[in-house]
Structure 1
Amino acid sequence: MDVREIPHTEATEATEATEATEATQATGAAHAAAADATAAALARVRGAARAGHPRALAWRTERLTALRALLTERQDDLAAALHSDLRKPRSEVDNAEVGFTLREIDHALRHLPGWLAPEPVAAAALGRLPPGAAATTRYEPLGTVLVIGPWNFPVQLLLVPVVGALAAGNTVVVKPSELAPATSALFASLLPAYLGADTVAVVEGGPEETAALLAERFDHVFYTGNGTVGRAVMRAAAAHLTPVTLELGGKCPVFVDRDVDLAAVAARLARAKFANAGQTCVAPDHVLTDPGTGRRLTAELARAVEERFGPDPAASEHYGRIVNEHHFDRLVALLDSGRVVLGGRHDRADRYLAPTVLANVAPDAPAMREEVFGPILPVVHVAGVDEAIALVNGGDRPLALYAFTGDEAARRRLADETRSGAVNFGLPFAHLGVPELPFGGVGESGFGAYHGHHSFAAFSHRRARLDVPIGAA
């Protein structure tokens, strides 16, 4: 029967069924085309790794220099993408995103010849070998590596591992976060264009595309994100015995002692906590201090926030937004964890949540049961350093522990009696800017480290070599 002869309802259903089938076929075709493109991209970067070109110092230097050119020549485009994704202020783009990555590139270029030089083993270790024996170690490329980036710093946290991978002589597959779509799309066009399609392949998409990538065999997987996905990455990598680096998060505590300059502490806390609207894995998560110090600190924080963002942070060009409605709703629900003594204003349509401080927060309040990852700073009262140490040790090991105290004994105890990825006294997350320091977590906050030489080493195999003369006794 011709469709025109079918009664109206049946004709409509037949048309809808046809359209649904066509849509399904189109979606399937699109997925198949994307899968074919990904397979071709993987073949190119793997082929280049097998050909051995990345081993040469000149190749590594050229690629790092090309990445540097991308960042400097397209900085305005990156700033526009980051503003679209996160309303990220230009000052944060220039310093924490592009500037940070440029400093990592410059550090690698300056030190790469030394990193590549063979390292002789001490002569005393060769005592049992025949005369003339020589032993060295040398860092060699792993091959083709996968870097999965997060959404909160979609330039720095994607590209700084890439810097280490290229310095180590690897080809790279990168998976930007789908929650930062403008930045992801920009990288999909720029990275292969600047570095070569046989050096870096970019795979866009969501969980389905990530799962498909993880089913492939890589020589190393570097993931930055949350623990739930981190466990999935480990399970997938285990099928191929692929080594992994997991850069996760955690509740980074801040101990504030009675004897400190609270105006200076507040200024440093406000800068560290409310950068990127609090969406930073090493941001101070909560403050541990005594009640009197907590009250005085809150007053100083109010002054510090106004000095940094003005009387209305919503109108400040230096204050960002929450990445999406899901995270916005999660954060607003945490406001009931204590008494709002600073901020608290929010606007879902704008994804705006003001810099906020909560007082009288119990250790078991909702904001203390999960990483805040937003512009909410709970203040938890403790009697002193003993109780602070007990609270830190009662939770998962954090990515960083911060403390403001002039008491040397308290500093020593905080360093010796707790475990964390890093411990900083006097300035939160400043350790990120020291490339000689390893950056990474422990336990629930991840494992493996990078930045500077540690990035180079993470993507290298330290190969042993022994030369013994033939005919030696």
Structure 2
Amino acid sequence: MDVLKIDKSFNKKRQFFDEGKTKGYEFRKENLIKLKNVIKKYESEIMEALYLDLHKPAFEAFTSEIGILYEEIRYTLKHLKGWMKPKRVHTSFVLHPSSSYLYSEPLGVTLIIGPWNYPFQLLFAPLVGAIAAGNCAILKPSDQTKHISNLVAKIIQETYEDNYISVVQGPGSIIGSHLIQRFPFNHIFFTGSPSVGKKILSMAADTLTPVTLELGGKSPVIVHKDANIDISARKLTWAKFFNAGQTCVCPDYLLIHESIKDVFIEKMIYYIKDFFGENPIESENFARIINKKRYEILENWLHEGTLLIGGQCDKNSLFIAPTIIDQITPESSIMQDEIFGPILPVITYKDINEIVPIIRKNRYPLSLYLYTRNKELEKFVIETFEFGGGCINNGILHLVNPNLPFGGVGNSGMGRYHGKSSFDAFSHKKSILKTKQWIDPPLLYAPYSDGKLKFVRKIFK
């Protein structure tokens, strides 16, 4: 890494931003269109790089890394002009003759740090928000996905001037020692693990840099006795094993009513075979584990409980089969950390209240999923547990809707993005009170009197 080169690049961005070049609507629109066009140009290369890095099936690569970005850019372009307009808000009577406005103002030079599990989409989706809000940006792709990292650098260099958007590559250690601690960014957007997120937040505190943290956690899935067994099993099987379970909103463990457990697991086993065949290692529809370190962590958990399906693994190809494990308790080691892989532990319950301490043991998950036809149970679950977002009778798809802000709570993150929330994440809301001068009531000015005090008491009651 060339520190002097990054110094120069950062300073050029600061100067470019201070000149006001990024603030106009046409500039933002033009560069969002550029982003969409260059993604289209390199679509096949992006999918090939995702296959080389993660063995991602073409369907999963397109839908989760490319198609979702097209929708995010389309939605942003449709609404951007409206988002940029000052918003008039209510003004209390005591402030008349005045009116109140909110101005959305870009923050400046931003840093976006991407993860390895969706290495293209989770780097470029925040960039859509940064561009829309009128900022400059430095992107730091994951060093675990070399092919995508190199392609991202090529795409950005080809599309944008260095004084506007650029890429820094290298090991994660450069984030702390050479980026966050060295440069006064106006906002940092990080997607990754809670452990690294804590370090990012700690380093950013030295310069009071605002941070968006998109982290993770053990996201529970609850299947109640009244669920549609066939459809629920199919949806859960897809959501759990999409990208080999390496998804921040992946259903982490299954809480299922004991009366339907056996038939439901039978259905899941049926759909695992239907999706990936009798021998999933030969399937072109199943991804691989990112690296040997993650593989070894996951392999160790295969020795817990009782295998109902799966358990096959191959270290050379970093393959772990879709796996369901029974006879798991909340004290099992697999229940202490986010799994982030294709292993689903199963815990049964008789009464819905039994799930409360289990979920609270791993509090503040990024997502929660409930399969039921009971509206009262929906209400109970939504109101009882703190979680970032989720689905009723579906899995992981809530993050696709740009109208739904996406983000965690507590240990699973802070801040929201997608759609207008991305624009807001990279904006400062500047509050302005505008007062007309055709009259200047003497009420606020000294000398004060009992009459004035009596009048304001009535106003504020």
Bin of the TM-score, shorter chain as denominator length: over 0.9
2:197 corresponds to which residue? 230
- 1:289 is displaced (CA, Å) by 1.2
Mapped to 2, the partners of 1:468 and 1:166 lie a distance apart of 33
1:25 corresponds to which residue? none
Asked whether the 8 Å contact 1:321–1:352 carries over to 2, the reply is: yes
Worse-matched range after superposition: 246-255 or 291-300? 291-300
Is there any run of 5+ residues in structure 1 with no aligned partner, and where?
A: 1-30
Q: 2:81 matched to 1:128? A: no
Asked whether the 8 Å contact 1:298–1:342 carries over to 2, the reply is: no
Q: 2:308 matched to 1:315? A: no
Mapped to 2, the partners of 1:231 and 1:217 lie a distance apart of 19
Residue type matched to 2:41 in 1? E
Where do residues 170-319 of structure 1 align in structure 2 (5 Å cutoff)? 170-211=135-176, 212-215=178-181, 216-319=183-286
What do residues 80-131 of structure 1 show as CA deviations (whole Å, max 9, x unaligned)? Answer: 1111110111111111101011110110000000101111122xx2422343
Residue type matched to 1:127 in 2? F
Worse-matched range after superposition: 453-462 or 431-440? 431-440
1:157 corresponds to which residue? 122
Mapped to 1, the partners of 2:54 and 2:161 lie a distance apart of 28
1:45 corresponds to which residue? 13
Query: Per residue, is there more helix in 1 or in 2?
Result: 1
Asked whether the 8 Å contact 2:363–2:386 carries over to 1, the reply is: no
- 1:375 is displaced (CA, Å) by 0.2
Match of 1:397 among 340, 361, 364: 364
1:369 corresponds to which residue? 336
Q: 2:351 matched to 1:384? A: yes
- 1:471 is displaced (CA, Å) by 5.6
Secondary structure in structure 1 of the residue aligned to 2:184: coil
Residue type matched to 2:117 in 1? N
Match of 2:321 among 354, 359, 364: 354
Asked whether the 8 Å contact 1:192–1:199 carries over to 2, the reply is: no
Secondary structure in structure 2 of the residue aligned to 1:55: coil
2:43 corresponds to which residue? 75
Asked whether the 8 Å contact 2:228–2:372 carries over to 1, the reply is: no
1:425 corresponds to which residue? 392
Residue type matched to 2:163 in 1? D
Asked whether the 8 Å contact 2:251–2:369 carries over to 1, the reply is: yes
What do residues 190-242 of structure 1 show as CA deviations (whole Å, max 9, x unaligned)? Answer: 11311322221100011231111111211011100011110110111101101
1:15 corresponds to which residue? none
Where do residues 420-459 of structure 1 align in structure 2 (5 Å cutoff)? 420-459=387-426
Asked whether the 8 Å contact 1:403–1:426 carries over to 2, the reply is: yes
Percent identity among equivalent residues? 35
1:57 corresponds to which residue? 25
Asked whether the 8 Å contact 2:276–2:286 carries over to 1, the reply is: yes
Mapped to 2, the partners of 1:357 and 1:387 lie a distance apart of 21
Is there any run of 5+ residues in structure 2 with no aligned partner, and where?
A: 441-461
What do residues 368-418 of structure 1 show as CA deviations (whole Å, max 9, x unaligned)? Answer: 011000000000122231111221122221001111111222111111111
1:102 corresponds to which residue? 70
Mapped to 2, the partners of 1:388 and 1:246 lie a distance apart of 28
Paired positions, count:
438
1:12 corresponds to which residue? none
Mapped to 2, the partners of 1:113 and 1:357 lie a distance apart of 48
Secondary structure in structure 1 of the residue aligned to 2:104: strand
What do residues 128-153 of structure 1 show as CA deviations (whole Å, max 9, x unaligned)? Answer: 2343x332111110001111000000
Mapped to 2, the partners of 1:361 and 1:290 lie a distance apart of 14
Asked whether the 8 Å contact 2:160–2:166 carries over to 1, the reply is: no
2:52 corresponds to which residue? 84
TM-score by length of 2: 0.93
- 1:355 is displaced (CA, Å) by 0.5
Asked whether the 8 Å contact 1:289–1:384 carries over to 2, the reply is: no
- 1:462 is displaced (CA, Å) by 0.6
Secondary structure in structure 2 of the residue aligned to 1:172: strand
Mapped to 1, the partners of 2:6 and 2:351 lie a distance apart of 55
- 1:318 is displaced (CA, Å) by 1.3
Q: 2:86 matched to 1:118? A: yes
Secondary structure in structure 2 of the residue aligned to 1:289: strand
